[in-house]
Structure 1
Amino acid sequence: MTILLTGGRAPCTLELARSFHKGGHRVLVAESARYHLCRVSRAVDRSFLVPAPNADRERFLQVIEDIVTEERVDVLIPTCEEIFFVAKGLERLSRHCKVWCPPSEQLSELHDKWRFAELASSLGLLVPQSRLIQTPQELLALGREDLAQNMVLKPVYSRFASRVLFLNKRDSAVKKEVMLQEIMLQKAAASVSRETPWIAQRRVDGRHLSTYSVAHEGSLLAHAAYPCRYRLGPGATVYFEPVEHKPALEWVSLFVRATGFSGQIAFDFIEEEDGALYALECNPRATSGIHLFSGGRLLEAFLSPDKLRASEVIIAPDRSASMLTAGMLAAAAGNLRSWSALRGWFGALRSGRDVVFRRGDIRPGLEQAGVLLDAWRISRKKGLTLSQATTMDIEWNGEA
C-alpha cells in the first residue's frame, strides 16, 4: 500500500514512516518545512514540500489532493497540527483514499481547552474546576479575587505549555493584580478576547501522566500510558516508558466511546495522591506516545481498523523505553539536584532507545542540526521562541 504522512518534522512521524516501510509499504511525506527528519530517511520513498497550511489553506489542500491522486495513495495520516487544515478538506480527500482525520467540528471542540473541559465534565469525567476568561478585564478581576485555591491560566489554544500563568492563593490581591498587569504590558496576554479566550483552572498537584491511543468508531484499537518523567521545562516529555494504568485506560475508553471518536487521540493527566485522575487537555492527533509502538504492531490499527475492532483486542505498547536523546541531555539540568536523581537519569539515558538515530538510517539524526538551525533563524527573524518557530506555519487557533 502507499501511505502518505504529513508533518514530517515530528519524530513521531519518522517512527510511523519507519514502521510502515518495515511492513513493506511505500511511504510518502508531505511537509511545509524546508528541513525535517523524514526528508532524508531511507524509509521515505518521496518527500514533498507543500505550502504552509495556515498561510494558504486552499493551496495546501490542492497540493495534498494532487499528491494523493498522482501517487495513488491508499491511506493519508496527518500527524501534527496540519490535521486541522486537512479536516477542512476531509470530504474531497476521502473520495480518493482513507483519511485518518476526525471531522473539523469535533477536532475544534477537542483542541479548545475550555470546550474539551466542558465536554469531559458533561460525560461525568474528572477535569479541574474551570472558568472561561474572555476579556483582559476578566483576567485582572481574577487577580483581585480572594482565591480559595491555586490557579493555572492559559489560552484555550496553546501548545508546549507555553504562555502558562500561575496564581498562588497565598499571594495578596495586589501582588496578583500587579503580576497580571505586568504580563499584559509585555503583551503576553494582550490577545485575551472573545475570539481568543483563556481558561483558568484549579491547579492540580500530583503525578503527570500522558496517553496516546488510536480509536475507530468509538472503540479503542491501541493504547499506551506513560509518566512524564523527564521534560523540557513544563512542556514536552522526552522520555517515554510505558506503564499499566487502568484508570487512564478506563477514562480514555469512556471518552472515545461516548464521542464515537475515530482517529489518533492523546490526553495529559494529573493523578492526585488519592488516585483521582484529572484530564488537563486533549490532543486529537499523533503524539510522542507513538514511540512506544516501535515494533510495528500499530500498523494493524491504521490498515485494518474494522477487523481489529471486531476482535475487541486493544494493541498494547512495547515494554521498552524510548527517548529523545537531545532532549534528555537538555533536561539533565533539572535532574542533577541529588546523586540519586543523577543516577536515575543516567540509568534512563542508558536504557532508552533513541527515537531518531537508527542504524541503517542515520541521516535523520544528522538532519536534526539543520532543523534546529532553521528554527533558530526563524525565531530570530520573527521574534519567537524556538518551540514557536517549529510550529508557526501549521498552528491552528480556532480560525474559520
Structure 2
Amino acid sequence: MRVLITGARAPVAIEWARLLMRQGHQVTMSDCCRLPLGRFLTGIDRYVRTTSPRQDPQQYQNEIVKLVEEHQIQMLIPTCEEIFYLAQFSHLLKQTNCLISELELLLSLHDKSAVFELLSGLAGVKFPMTKKLTTSTQIDPEWESILKPTFCRFGEQVIRDIKQVDLQQLDISHSTPWVQQQKLIGQALCNYALFDQGKLIAHQVYRPDYCVNGSAATYFQPIEHEAINTFINAFAKQFQFHGQVSFDFIEHQGECYVIECNPRATSGLHLVAEHLQCWSSFKANVGQVHAAIDQANVSELRTSERRQLATNTENNKSSQAQYIGFSMLIAGGLNMLFKRQTWRDFSAAKNALGDKNYPLPSWALLLSSAELLTTALYRNQSLAAASTSDIEWNGQHGSGM
C-alpha cells in the first residue's frame, strides 16, 4: 500500500511511518518545512515539501492532489492541523482512504466553545461551565476561572489567573473569540482514539507528564480509566468519526471533566502503534486500519466481544511509558536533571523517537531544531508558536478555498 503522511515535523508522523514500513508499505511524507524530522527518516520513499496551507490553501490543495495522483496514494494520514485544510478537498481524492472526518465535525471539535455543545449528554464525563466571549467587557473578573482563545494550542495563551492581567488589553472580538471557563484543579489526563468509519479501532488513556509550558507533555504513562472508556464509546455511537481524535481531561473532586478536543493525531499514538496493522483492501483498493491485540490483555472483555479482537484494542495494559527524545529531562527546567524521580521515570520508559530498524540520524533533530529556532527568531515568536504557525487553523473557515 502506498501511504502519504502529512505533518512530517511531528513525532507521531514518525510513528505512523515506522509502523507502516514495518508492515511492508511504501511511505511518502510531506510538510511545508524545509527540514522536518520525517524528511530524514530511514526507509521512506520520499519527502515532498509543500506550500504552507495557512498561507496559500488553494496552492496547497493543488500540490496535494497532484502528489496523490502522481504517486497513486492509497491512504492519506494527516497528523497536525493541516487536517482542517485537507478536509476541505479530501472528497476530490476518490481513490484514496483519507483518515479525515467531515470538516464541520472537525471544526466543532476544534473550537473550545462549540465542542461542549456538540458533546453534551455523552456518558462518563462532565463538562466545565464555559462562556464564549466576543469582547473583554463580557469577562466576569470575580469568577474563579481561566481564559483562553477558542482556537489555541500548547496552553500558550491560557490565562490561569485572570486577576494578574489587564483584561482590557486582550484581543477579544467576534473574529477572535475567547472563552471564560470554570477553573478545575486536579490530575490531567489525555486519551487517543482511532476510528474507521465510526468503528473504534484503538484507544488509550494516558497521564501526561514532564510538560513544557505546563501543558505540552513529553512523557506519556498509559493507564486504565473506566469513565473515559465509557465516554469514548459513547462518542463512537454518537458520531461516525473517521480518523484520529484526542481529548484532554481533568479529574476534579471525584469527577472526570472534558477540557478540550484535538481532532488529530497526538502522542497517545506512541502507546498503541505496535498493535496496529494496516493493509490494502482487495475490493476497494484503498487502505484500511485494524488492530491486533494479545488475548492476555483483554481478558476482561465479554465472550460476545471476543470476535472484535481483530479490529479493536483498548487500553493495552502492557504498554510501556514513552517519552519524546531527551526533552523530558529538562521540560520542567534544568533542575529536573537533579531529581531522582526524573531519572527513574526516564530509565523505565521507551524513547518514542528511537528505532533500530528505521532510525533517525543523530543530526536530524539538530537540523530540525535549528530551522524551528530560526523561524521563531525571524517571526518574533515562541518556539511553540513557531512550530505550528504555518499550518494552524484559527477559525478562518471559508477564507481561502
Q: Using structure 2 for the length normalisation, give the TM-score.
A: 0.87
The partner residue of 2:193 within 188, 213, 225 is: 213
Residues in 1 aligned to 2:158 and 2:82: alpha-carbon distance in whole angstroms: 23
- 1:345 matched residue in structure 2: 342
Corresponding position: 1:299 with 2:298: no
Report the more deviating stretch, 289-298 or 73-82. 289-298
Residues in 1 aligned to 2:53 and 2:147: alpha-carbon distance in whole angstroms: 28
Q: One-letter code of the match for 2:329?
A: L
Higher helix share: 1
Q: Return the offset for 1:259.
A: 2.0
Report the more deviating stretch, 342-351 or 313-322. 313-322
- 1:113 matched residue in structure 2: 112
Q: How does 1:159-308 map to 2 (within 5 A)?
A: 159-167=153-161, 176=163, 179-181=164-166, 185=169, 189-190=170-171, 192-274=172-254, 276-299=255-278, 303-305=287-289
Please say if residues 69 and 96 of structure 1, whose CA atoms lie closer than 8 Å, have aligned partners that are also in contact.
Answer: no
Please say if residues 212 and 332 of structure 2, whose CA atoms lie closer than 8 Å, have aligned partners that are also in contact.
Answer: no
Residues in 2 aligned to 1:38 and 1:305: alpha-carbon distance in whole angstroms: 21
Q: One-letter code of the match for 1:9?
A: R
**Distance verdict in 2 for CA 1:34–1:297, change over 3 Å:** same
Please say if residues 6 and 78 of structure 2, whose CA atoms lie closer than 8 Å, have aligned partners that are also in contact.
Answer: yes
Q: Deviations over 1:297-345 (max 9, x none)?
A: 25379944589999533214452121113321222538749x8xx2221
Q: Return the offset for 1:92.
A: 0.5
Residues in 1 aligned to 2:233 and 2:122: alpha-carbon distance in whole angstroms: 12
Q: Return the offset for 1:48.
A: 0.3
Residues in 1 aligned to 2:84 and 2:109: alpha-carbon distance in whole angstroms: 11
**Distance verdict in 2 for CA 1:329–1:298, change over 3 Å:** farther
Corresponding position: 1:374 with 2:374: no
The DSSP-based 3-state class of the residue aligned with 1:166 is coil
Q: Return the offset for 1:24.
A: 0.4
- 1:96 matched residue in structure 2: 95
Q: One-letter code of the match for 1:37?
A: L
The DSSP-based 3-state class of the residue aligned with 1:9 is coil
Report the more deviating stretch, 302-311 or 201-210. 302-311
Residues in 2 aligned to 1:33 and 1:138: alpha-carbon distance in whole angstroms: 39
Please say if residues 217 and 262 of structure 1, whose CA atoms lie closer than 8 Å, have aligned partners that are also in contact.
Answer: yes
Segments of 4+ moved more than 6 angstroms: 306-310
Please say if residues 88 and 103 of structure 2, whose CA atoms lie closer than 8 Å, have aligned partners that are also in contact.
Answer: yes
Residues in 2 aligned to 1:334 and 1:250: alpha-carbon distance in whole angstroms: 39
**Distance verdict in 2 for CA 1:347–1:193, change over 3 Å:** same
Q: One-letter code of the match for 1:113?
A: K
Pairs aligned (count): 375
Q: Deviations over 1:76-127 (max 9, x none)?
A: 111100000000102112x121111011111110000100022222446411
Q: Return the offset for 1:164.
A: 0.5
The DSSP-based 3-state class of the residue aligned with 1:210 is strand
- 2:313 matched residue in structure 1: 315
Please say if residues 147 and 160 of structure 2, whose CA atoms lie closer than 8 Å, have aligned partners that are also in contact.
Answer: yes
Q: One-letter code of the match for 1:353?
A: K
Please say if residues 219 and 253 of structure 1, whose CA atoms lie closer than 8 Å, have aligned partners that are also in contact.
Answer: no
Which residues of structure 1 form unaligned runs of 5+? 169-175
**Distance verdict in 2 for CA 1:164–1:307, change over 3 Å:** closer
Please say if residues 239 and 324 of structure 1, whose CA atoms lie closer than 8 Å, have aligned partners that are also in contact.
Answer: yes
Residues in 1 aligned to 2:248 and 2:228: alpha-carbon distance in whole angstroms: 10
Q: Return the offset for 1:361.
A: 3.8
Residues in 2 aligned to 1:216 and 1:324: alpha-carbon distance in whole angstroms: 27
Residues in 2 aligned to 1:298 and 1:162: alpha-carbon distance in whole angstroms: 35
- 1:30 matched residue in structure 2: 30
**Distance verdict in 2 for CA 1:307–1:162, change over 3 Å:** closer
The DSSP-based 3-state class of the residue aligned with 1:200 is strand
Q: Return the offset for 1:384.
A: 0.6
Corresponding position: 1:358 with 2:355: yes
Q: Return the offset for 1:205.
A: 1.1
**Distance verdict in 2 for CA 1:397–1:163, change over 3 Å:** same
Please say if residues 332 and 345 of structure 1, whose CA atoms lie closer than 8 Å, have aligned partners that are also in contact.
Answer: no
**Distance verdict in 2 for CA 1:184–1:47, change over 3 Å:** farther
The DSSP-based 3-state class of the residue aligned with 2:247 is strand
- 1:56 matched residue in structure 2: 56
Please say if residues 210 and 269 of structure 1, whose CA atoms lie closer than 8 Å, have aligned partners that are also in contact.
Answer: yes
- 1:172 matched residue in structure 2: none
Q: Deviations over 1:257-289 (max 9, x none)?
A: 212222101000001242x11000011110011
Please say if residues 238 and 328 of structure 1, whose CA atoms lie closer than 8 Å, have aligned partners that are also in contact.
Answer: yes
Residues in 1 aligned to 2:265 and 2:306: alpha-carbon distance in whole angstroms: 23
Q: One-letter code of the match for 1:59?
A: Q
Q: One-letter code of the match for 2:271?
A: L
Identity, % of aligned pairs?
29
Q: Return the offset for 1:364.
A: 4.7
Which residues of structure 2 form unaligned runs of 5+? 281-285, 293-304
What value does the CA root-mean-square deviation take over the aligned residues? 2.4
The DSSP-based 3-state class of the residue aligned with 2:396 is coil
Please say if residues 97 and 287 of structure 2, whose CA atoms lie closer than 8 Å, have aligned partners that are also in contact.
Answer: no
Please say if residues 216 and 263 of structure 1, whose CA atoms lie closer than 8 Å, have aligned partners that are also in contact.
Answer: yes
